Amino acid sequence: MVADAVIYHPTVSHYLKFVATTTGRDKLLRTVQYFARFYAWYLLRTNGTRSEVAPWDALKKQLGLARKLLRVGKNVEHLKAAAIAADASSSKVADPVLRYTAVGRQLGYAAYLTFDAATVLDSLGVRKWEGAKRAQREAYRFWAVGILCSLVAQTYTLYRLREREAKVDKKEGEGVVESKRIALERAASQLQLVSDLCDLTAPTAALGWIGFDDGFVGLAGTVSSLIGVYSQWKKTA
């Protein structure tokens, strides 16, 4: 039957595994949130009416609040990751540059999530706090620090891959295998680099460091979110 073919299709099973993960659901919500941010800006710029803009603006705000709630407690995860990365004996990363940038990235994200969580009650309207805006700005600063550390790591990784590739003898069997491995690692690093550059637009715009408008930030966020969906989809395959 057609229904059985659809229900038992491998893609459906893969989808269920994907949405069963918190990261998978968050990436989907993030994609819609940032697209709504872009589209609300687009409607305003094209003289859209308030009734046209309002649903997209509400969607952006409500999904942003939902994701903020989902992030509560994740700072502990990043603190643990930072501790593991800092421990040379247990860390899988031998290169000191990559290890230190990993520590910086994880600590940046941990601090971002800590300050972000501190504003939850204010955002929900449960308990207003005068320091919420200041805490949110600090959260954005640490988010930017974490992303910058990741950008340094990806740039350095691409440099090291270029060095490795120069030493490979593609005429030998092992050289061909190594060349393919390098190509896969380079593609993954380049994809992460693009994602980080897109993500950086959000905190830099919020802090006023660079004057990106909502349309640019929304579009960049949509791209990085789709990259996140793609990466998580592959992990759950």
88, pLDDT greater than 90: no
3, pLDDT greater than 70: no
Q: What's the pLDDT band for 6 if we cut at 50, 70, 90? A: low
Q: Distance between alpha carbon 191 and the CA centroid of its chain, in Å?
A: 12
Give the pLDDT score at 178: 86
* DSSP string computed for 20-76: TSHHHHHHHHHHHHHHHHHHHHHHHHTT--HHHHHHHHHHHHHHHHHHHHHHTTHHH
Give the mean model confidence (pLDDT) for residues 15-31.
Answer: 90
192, pLDDT greater than 60: yes
- Residue 48 dihedral angles phi and psi, to the nearest 5°: -70, 150
